[in-house]
A = this chain, B = another copy of it.
């Protein structure tokens, strides 16, 4: 199934004029390869070419995790004592990335990875790949729809239990923690984002961060914004 995803990525890339797509650890990389890595001070970048080649540059100490990937990727590991530049240059050379148009996740890729790409693929031009990835991922198959339904079920169950436990005098932060606890108890693998639980004056701020203000009787808890990760 994941191989089909890479095939569909290539179709989208051709359509949108991208030679290469470069992804960092996160949902898109997981979607395409089944690999989960943490973002850290050691850059990890996977490269997919429109011709169908794939490579990943990563710390040698993480290289063992590529074995369980659902797609075949040439692996370019680097050791801390050598630095990461040689591995990136080798990967960019192997896949002829220099001088190409590279789609990157502008909302996910950091300066660290962007600069490393720019330096090791001279003459290339980076552009946002969000449209390509959106088009790819917006069409859900049966297994994805099943996962989304499960996430909604978990979220609704947790919300019901948590709301029943809210009492005047609890702080926004305590209610947010309560909700997180009930999400994990209901089977959530993780939270899509830090829960936004705000009341009273804070409720007028969109995207506010829960505070230590206690909820008064009669307060409206405007926003309980939470979702399990997929």
Task: Please report A residues at the B interface, Cβ cutoff 8 Å.
Answer: 36-38, 40-41, 61-62, 64-65, 104-112, 114-115, 126, 128, 173, 177, 180-181, 184-185, 188-190, 193-194, 204-209
Contacts and interface: CB of A to CB of B under 8 A. Distances in A.
A205 B65 contact: yes
A64 to B, nearest CB: 5
Contact of A205 (B62, B128, B188, B206): B62
Contact of A107 (B41, B173, B185, B207): B41
Contacts of A108: 110
A158 to B, nearest CB: 12
List the 8 closest A-B pairs by CB distance, nearest first. Answer: A106-B111, A36-B209, A177-B184, A106-B112, A61-B206, A109-B111, A181-B181, A111-B114
Q: How many copies of the chain does the oligomer comprise?
A: 2
A206 B65 CA distance: 9
Contacts of A61: 206-207
Contact of A193 (B38, B114, B177): B38
Contact of A110 (B64, B109, B193): B109
A37 B207 contact: yes
